[in-house]
Amino acid sequence: MRRPSFTLPPGTCDTHVHVWGPFDRFPVAKGAPYTPPERNKADLLALHARLGVQRCVIVQTSVYKADNRAMLDAIADNPVTYRGVALVDESFGDAEYKALHDGGVRGVRFGFVKHLGGIPDLDLVRRTAHRIGEMGWHLVLHLDAANIPDFEVLFRAFRLPVVVDHMGRPPAQDGLEQAPFRILLDLLKAPNWWVKVSGSERISAEGPPFHDAVPFARKLIEVAPDRTLWGTDWPHPNVRWEPDEADLVDMLPQFGDEAALQRVLVDNPARLYGFQ
């Protein structure tokens, strides 16, 4: 695997990675929607050493459901430079939330993606949003673009910070004027809405090197320059094309100029996640 040609600025944060395993300590949950290969915290360190990334946010995936131990274990090794986004369920109370916060978690994710289980319990989403908002955390939404119009009313009611994964997953072939993407751009006019310009390999219709995703990333950064984040989405669960992360880094100069990338890669995640 090669190193990228583009040199990331100091303090760059990869805000979307996952860890799976070691499976002898952290087995996949019963009924998980897919069984991933083991990709543990040592693999994550090696990835970021190759790319030149200094900080990261580990996002819990549905294969572990609300068992956040593998993520917390990885954060515990690097508490200054790692943060987490958890999955929760109805059983979480004060003690569980305190343990997550002490472990470096600063957000909760809900998925609305059909092949990963579909629509969550909306009452749980509302209750969780209220609770974590009081803690200074944020909500992370993993959406299919087609969901966005269906839940626009719910989404507009949120007052805490909300982060949308993977540019809202708009199919690149449908263009910048597609209705779900226009709604996302409008949501981003509100000061509490954020977005990740990750998932180029997910939205691309052309395949590597995913250049048809670039206009979407550029538009999002233009609309919300101080509330846009970036991530690799390593180890890329359920993708059509397995990207080389060096290629994803080398796309970044097409997303914006040096000042824009300083915000997206360093300043914005430092502000949202409390990196020093």
Residue 41, token pair as written in the block? 């915290």
Beta-bridge mates of residue 138:
107
Mean pLDDT of 206-227: 97
Q: Contact, 268 vs 25, CB < 8 A?
A: no
Residue that is written with structure tokens 């072939």 in the block: 173
pLDDT of residue 23: 96
Q: Contact, 245 vs 39, CB < 8 A?
A: no
pLDDT of residue 139: 98
Mean pLDDT of 109-137: 92
Mean pLDDT of 79-103: 98
Asked whether residue 179 carries a pLDDT value surpassing 80, the answer given is yes
**Coil, strand, or helix at residue 14?**
strand
pLDDT of residue 114: 78
pTM exceeds 0.85: yes
Catalytic member of 233, 244, 247, 257: 233
Torsion of CA 158, 159, 165, 168, to 10 degrees: 50
Per-residue pLDDT band at 88 (split at 50, 70, 90): very high
Residue that is written with structure tokens 């274990």 in the block: 73
Residue 121 annotated to the active site? no
Q: How many Å apart are CA 50 and CA 68, to the nearest integer?
A: 26
Q: How many Å apart are CA 64 and CA 70, to the nearest integer?
A: 9
Domains and CATH numbers, the chain: 13-273 (3.20.20.140)
